[in-house]
Amino acid sequence: MDGMIFYWVFWGVWILATFIMRKRGLRLWMAAGCLIVIIASGITLHINSYDVNAAFILMFLIGICINIGSPLIKLFYHTVVNYILMMLYFLYHCYQMYDPAIRLIVPQWLFLMVIFGTIQMLIKPFRFRLSILLSGTCMGEGLKTVIIQPKNDTIGNYNALDTLAFFILLAVGWHVLNWSLNFLQQVINKSQVPKTKVGRPVERD
């Protein structure tokens, strides 16, 4: 992956928000956010002897900000799930470094699907799922780059941006699919409700 998924997803969302969605506050935030992330993807920041992609930092902050205002218990639970995702991501890439044959058994796309399925089971609301996927993946990518590839790669390179975009695509796609199925179920239920026929009043002599 070389950034193709990232640009396809974010440009697609920007086109959807700019030309198709209704004129609401969400439309403006989505369009502006996607455009800022796309522009930031070409900017590299030098932080404490490490090169960090600016779009990577933005998506990590977005994932963190979604959880602001959550109850303390829920925040603690989401933090635990975040660390689970971080360690899964890190251990997969760590094992891949010592035994590249794991790519033949568990290719990266399948591993990402497993992570997505795990988050689907652990976290229910859509916005919190998206938050965990963004922040947990960013934490895992940062840990992987710092420990396995110190000073040899950019934290949040195009492979990492593709991974984040893939998770966003999965999360949004699953959410839209669930919404469509629920809407279809409601239509079917309404169509099955028997309609009472109103007859003419009986005339009495």
pLDDT digits (tens, 9 = 90+) for 125-170: 888 999 999 999 999 998 988 888 766 678 888 889 999 999 999 9
Angstrom distances, CA of residue 57 to CA of 106, 176, 178, 191, 192: 28, 27, 30, 49, 50
DSSP per position, 86-149: HHHHHHHHHHHHH-TTHHHHS-HHHHHHHHHHHHHHH--SHHHHHHHHHHHHHHHHHHHHHHTS
pLDDT digits (tens, 9 = 90+) for 48-106: 888 899 999 999 999 999 888 888 999 999 999 999 999 999 988 888 877 777 777 77
- Asked if residues 81 and 123 have their Cβ atoms less than 8 Å apart, the reply is yes
Angstrom distances, CA of residue 19 to CA of 30, 31, 95: 12, 10, 44
Is the pLDDT assigned to residue 193 strictly greater than 70? no
For the record, the structure tokens of 53 come out as: 């992609």
* In the chain, domain spans: 4-181
Residue keyed to tokens 């840990």? 143
